[in-house]
Structure 1
Amino acid sequence: MAFVKICNLEDLWEGEMESFEVDGQEILVVWPADGEIAAFQAICPHQDIPLVEGKFDGKSIICRAHQWSFDCITGAGINPADSRLAKYPIKVEGDAVMVDTEGVQVLFAHT
Structure 2
Amino acid sequence: MSFTKVCTVDDLWEGEMEAFTVDGHEVLLVCAEGGEIKAFQGICPHQDIALVEGKFDGKKLICRAHLWQFDASSGQGINPDDCALATYPVRLDGDDVYVSTEGIEPLFAHS
- For 1:22-61, list aligned pairs within 5 A: 22-61=22-61
Task: Normalising by structure 1, report the TM-score.
Answer: 0.97
Q: Could you tell me which amino acid in structure 2 is paired with residue 96 of structure 1?
A: D
Distance 1:61 1:83 in 2: 13
Partner deviation per Cα, 1:45-102 (whole Å, 9 max, x = no partner): 0000000000001100000000000000110000000010000000111011000000
Aligned residues: 111
Moved over 3 A (4+): none
Distance 2:73 2:14 in 1: 14
Q: Which residue of 2 aligns with 1:80?
A: 80
Q: Which residue of 1 aligns with 2:62?
A: 62
* Displacement of 1:43: 0.2
Distance 2:25 2:100 in 1: 11
Q: Which runs of 5+ in 2 are unaligned?
A: none
Q: What CA RMSD, in Å, does the superposition of the two structures yield over aligned residues?
A: 0.7
* Displacement of 1:13: 1.4
Distance 2:76 2:33 in 1: 19
Task: Normalising by structure 2, report the TM-score.
Answer: 0.97
Distance 2:26 2:2 in 1: 17
* Displacement of 1:10: 1.4
Q: Which runs of 5+ in 1 are unaligned?
A: none
* Displacement of 1:34: 1.2
* Displacement of 1:35: 3.5
Distance 1:82 1:34 in 2: 26
The reply to whether residue 106 of structure 1 matches residue 98 of structure 2 is no
